[in-house]
Amino acid sequence: MNRRTMFAALAAAAMIGLGGAAQAQDSTMQQVLDSGVLRVGVTQAPPWYSKDPMTGEWTGGLAVSMGKAMAEDLGVEFEPVEVTWGTAIAALQANRIDLMYMLDATEERRQAVNFPETPLLYYSLAVLARDDLDITDWADLNDPSIRISVPSATSMDAFLTANTPDADIQRFPGNSEAIAAFQAGRVDAVTLFHPPLIAARQRLGSGKIVVPQPVESRPSSVALRQEADTAFVDWVNEKIGGYYSSGQTQEWYEEFLRDFGLDPSTVPAVMRERL
């Protein structure tokens, strides 16, 4: 029995156990196997998803690599479907995509879509700082002489307010404005969760990314359609757990960083154990 046939048999058995035709209609696993494609939501967001501007193909990023590997494991084709972070949940509900990587499992999202129990990876609150700024702990930033930019009214803003109250915290409407303030030299550091800082550091060509201690780390996940049949979510849970524990998730991340022209040793890991 080949792999695809085996998964089909398992999915069929799960549907029978859950009660017939109504459940069959809901089964993402069976739908993927029958159609021969795994539809993955994608959006231009390095280091997770990256489209080649010359060909229009989704060729890079951790989530693209993982999606291709999971499709291969099922014996189906990888099919990227372009969405935005804001429309991904609706795309799942409308059955336009089968999964979307890098969506955090918030309580609000759990009301609309499903998530596996195992985290996909971890990312941490970080700073992009002047090369000459000595930072090890958050306490090192808690000084009136240090100017820090941050998007206003965000969890990042709340963290800085609580942990670096003596710093000169300068608040901006969004990520790009906070980064622009650092680029212009109006602040000494910018605070965001570390992935957006990677592209900023590469573009600016100066500054250093630091994850200060104690690490403020949060998990990200994979959003899936809500359904009674658990075959697909159980399989995704097993796969992402295996990729993480084997170090494959980190390897895909580092592969993209190298292709992006960055030394992985200078960038925070996406495994909590390596932070």
Phi, psi of 101 (to 5 degrees): -80, 160
Residues 60 and 164 in one domain: no
Residues 111 and 163 in one domain: no
User: What CATH number does the domain containing 173 carry?
Assistant: 3.40.190.10
Which residue range(s) make up the domain with 127? Answer: 123-217
pTM value is: 0.75
Q: Note the Cα 122 to chain centre separation in Å.
A: 8
Confidence class of residue 270 from pLDDT cuts 50, 70 and 90? very high
Please identify, among 198, 217, 236, the residue that sits at the C-terminal boundary of a domain: 217
Instruction: Dump pLDDT digits (tens) for 75-116.
Output: 999 999 999 888 999 999 999 999 999 988 988 889 999 999
Residues 19 and 139 in one domain: no
Residues 230 and 199 in one domain: no
For the chain, give the number of residues. 275
The count of domains in the chain is 2
Taking the alpha carbons of 251, 104, 88, 54 in that order, is the dihedral positive or negative?
Answer: negative
Q: How many CA atoms lie within 13 A of 48 on its CB side?
A: 24
Which pLDDT score, from 0 to 100, does residue 175 have? 82
Residues 258 and 270 in one domain: yes
Instruction: Dump pLDDT digits (tens) for 18-63.
Output: 444 334 456 999 999 999 999 999 988 788 888 998 999 999 999 9
Residues 156 and 201 in one domain: yes
- Both tokens of 151, joined, read 């998007």
Residues 232 and 100 in one domain: yes
Residues 84 and 193 in one domain: no
Residues 145 and 111 in one domain: no
Instruction: Dump pLDDT digits (tens) for 119-176.
Output: 999 988 999 999 999 999 999 999 999 999 998 877 789 899 999 999 999 999 878 8
Residues 179 and 243 in one domain: no
Residues 85 and 144 in one domain: no
| Burial of 186: CB neighbours in 10 Å, binned 0-12, 13-18, 19+ | exposed
Residues 81 and 147 in one domain: no
Q: How far is CA 146 from CA 110, 128, 140, 186, in A?
A: 39, 13, 9, 11
